[in-house]
Structure 1
Amino acid sequence: MTALRRIDLDGNALTHLPAHIAALPLLDTLLVYGNQLTDIPPALGQAAALRHLSLGGNSLTSVPDTLWRLTGLRSLNLAENEITEIPDTIGDLVELRMLDLGHNRLRHVPETIGDLPHLTDYLYLSDNGFTSVPASLGRLNQLDYLNLTDNRLTTLPQAIGDMAALRELRLYNNRLTALPDTIGRLSRLRELHLMNNQLTTLPDTIGELQRLRHLDLRDNPLQRLPEAVGRLAHLVHLDLRASRLRELPDSLGALPRLEKLDLRWTKLDRLPDWITALRHQGCAILL
């Protein structure tokens, strides 16, 4: 037993995790997803060799303070529990590359989440219900994927523009009324998902997202699109379903790589002439 490096207990009906697991000196990976755990033994914080820990899909309302002593962790999954608070000591997990806190009941995101310099692969904070995120997110300048969907966000911090490595940003099902101008600094962004917010327009800086391929704006009360959208030279998919747009900027007709423009349930006063040209270049127009 002392040579065990990986334990996979996913998808059982466990109600108890034995504390002596922490005594396994070489334990690298512990997977306990999809069980019925209501608590975690504090001794788990002594599993110094642990690099990958999955406790998602249980019934945890909190985790022991000792968990934040596992400073060698590379991935941590606490999703799909009932956790209401994450302490500032999460910032001590400086080797984390992947963090999933989605589908909990978090009231706020700790400022110290910005102290995770190696967080590169993903950060899931979806479906919690918090109303804001800290400006310290901007310090996660190596992060590739950020999911903040299904919360109650009304604004984003200007510092989000400092997340220089971000390639995918998911913000749908919130209450955003505007995007910060700094969004245009996300020069590596390829996907921007904004479905079902309260946006009425976009900042002109949206046109600076030169690598953007997918822009989803459906189910927003959009009243205008800036001409700057026409500068998105790599845009492939533009979703404008169920907006309040009455007209489209002529610059959209010059998008060279557009393959799909979705205008269903958007009542334009008239179809622009350039729609025909887009169809001829192979773009699917859905009306």
Structure 2
Amino acid sequence: MTAVTDCGRRGLRAWPAVEPATTHLYLHDNRLTVVPGAVGALTRLRVLDLAGNQLQGLPFEIGRCGALEYLYLHANRITELRPEIGDLSRLVYLNVNLNPLSRWGDALCGLTVLAELRAESTGLEALPETLAGLVQLRELHLRSNLLTDLPEQTARLRNLRFVNLRDNRLSAVPPSLAGLPRLRELDLRQNAIDSAPEFLAALPCLDKLDLRWNRIAQDDPVVESLRARGVLVHC
């Protein structure tokens, strides 16, 4: 049974009373600065929306919300993801966009069914090696960060369908993307890439490639090869 508590956009400064049986809790766009340890008592919670508050972190008790599937944390002031997030073994969606994240630690460990990770505009300079454990990941959103490459472990994410690396500091297409047989859409806009590597033409499922606002010539041979086989390429 679904039990929804919707307290979004109410100007709340303190955590409201929440029934233990709640499955969907919406507290987005308030003025919350702290999540109390009492959140750990919400063991039936499947959706937790804390976006658009003033949170600097989460309590360790968040790891007790074992039924959680969707966690919205975007547009807060979070600088570090607690390792207890890795205890959320049913989590399929995690959004940490627009947080000044400087440390990930072991937060991704244990998220073996995570399908979509959004970490845009977080100031990321490098991805944690623990990313390799997200074996069910299908979408990876990393727009507007400070990335210059992706770790070799990215090649282990063989279920990835969509990767967004727009507006980073890439000077070349990351070689680890060559190991993604199910990749369908790749967004590389607004980087400093000057050529398309041959491995892009070997990606069997690639359907759309966006290379706009780089330094790649329209007559790049790899681009022409992809277009010839029917891939939608913006360049």
TM range (shorter): over 0.9
Please tell me whether residue 94 in structure 1 is matched to residue 43 in structure 2.
Answer: yes
Amino acid in the other structure paired with 1:187 = V
Task: Find 2:33's aligned residue among 66, 76, 84.
Answer: 84
Corresponding residue number in structure 2 for 1:108: 57
Deviations 1:46-99 (A, max 9, x none): xxxxx32110011111124xx25x221111111111111111221111111111
Amino acid in the other structure paired with 2:39 = I
Secondary structure at the counterpart of residue 162 of structure 1: coil
Deviations 1:145-165 (A, max 9, x none): 111111111332234042011
Secondary structure at the counterpart of residue 175 of structure 1: coil
Task: Find 2:161's aligned residue among 213, 219, 239.
Answer: 213
Q: Which has the larger radius of gyration?
A: 1
Q: What is the CA–CA distance in structure 2 between the aligned matches of 1:162 and 1:226, rounded to whole Å?
A: 25
Contact 2:197 2:222 in 1 (8 A): no
- Percent of pairs with identical residues: 37
Amino acid in the other structure paired with 1:91 = G
Corresponding residue number in structure 2 for 1:277: 225
Please tell me whether residue 180 in structure 1 is matched to residue 128 in structure 2.
Answer: yes
Stretch moving more, 223-232 or 138-147: 223-232
Q: Which has the higher contact order (CA 8 A, sep 6+)?
A: 2
Q: What is the CA–CA distance in structure 2 between the aligned matches of 1:269 and 1:109, rounded to whole Å?
A: 46
Amino acid in the other structure paired with 1:262 = D
C-alpha displacement of 1:268? 3.6
Q: What is the CA–CA distance in structure 2 between the aligned matches of 1:192 and 1:140, rounded to whole Å?
A: 19
Secondary structure at the counterpart of residue 213 of structure 2: coil
Distance change in 2, residues 1:190/1:203 (3 Å): same
Q: What is the CA–CA distance in structure 2 between the aligned matches of 1:244 and 1:110, rounded to whole Å?
A: 40
Flag as ranges the 4+ runs of structure 1 deviating above 6 A: none
Q: What is the CA–CA distance in structure 1 between the aligned matches of 2:106 and 2:57, rounded to whole Å?
A: 18
Corresponding residue number in structure 2 for 1:3: none
C-alpha displacement of 1:270? 8.7
Secondary structure at the counterpart of residue 158 of structure 1: coil
Secondary structure at the counterpart of residue 149 of structure 1: coil
C-alpha displacement of 1:265? 0.7
Contact 1:202 1:225 in 2 (8 A): no
Task: Find 1:245's aligned residue among 177, 181, 193.
Answer: 193
Corresponding residue number in structure 2 for 1:127: 75
Deviations 1:161-196 (A, max 9, x none): 420111111111111111112212211111110000
Deviations 1:5-34 (A, max 9, x none): xxxxxxxxxxxxxxxxxxxxxxx98xxxxx
Q: What is the CA–CA distance in structure 2 between the aligned matches of 1:155 and 1:219, rounded to whole Å?
A: 21
TM-score by length of 2: 0.93
Amino acid in the other structure paired with 1:52 = V
- Pairing of 1:222-241 with structure 2 (within 5 A): 222-241=170-189
Contact 1:81 1:103 in 2 (8 A): yes
C-alpha displacement of 1:271? 6.1
Structure 1: segments with no counterpart, 5+ residues: 1-27, 30-50
Q: What is the CA–CA distance in structure 2 between the aligned matches of 1:233 and 1:91, rounded to whole Å?
A: 39
Contact 1:141 1:164 in 2 (8 A): yes
Contact 1:155 1:177 in 2 (8 A): no
C-alpha displacement of 1:114? 1.4
Query: RMSD in angstroms over aligned alpha carbons?
Result: 1.8
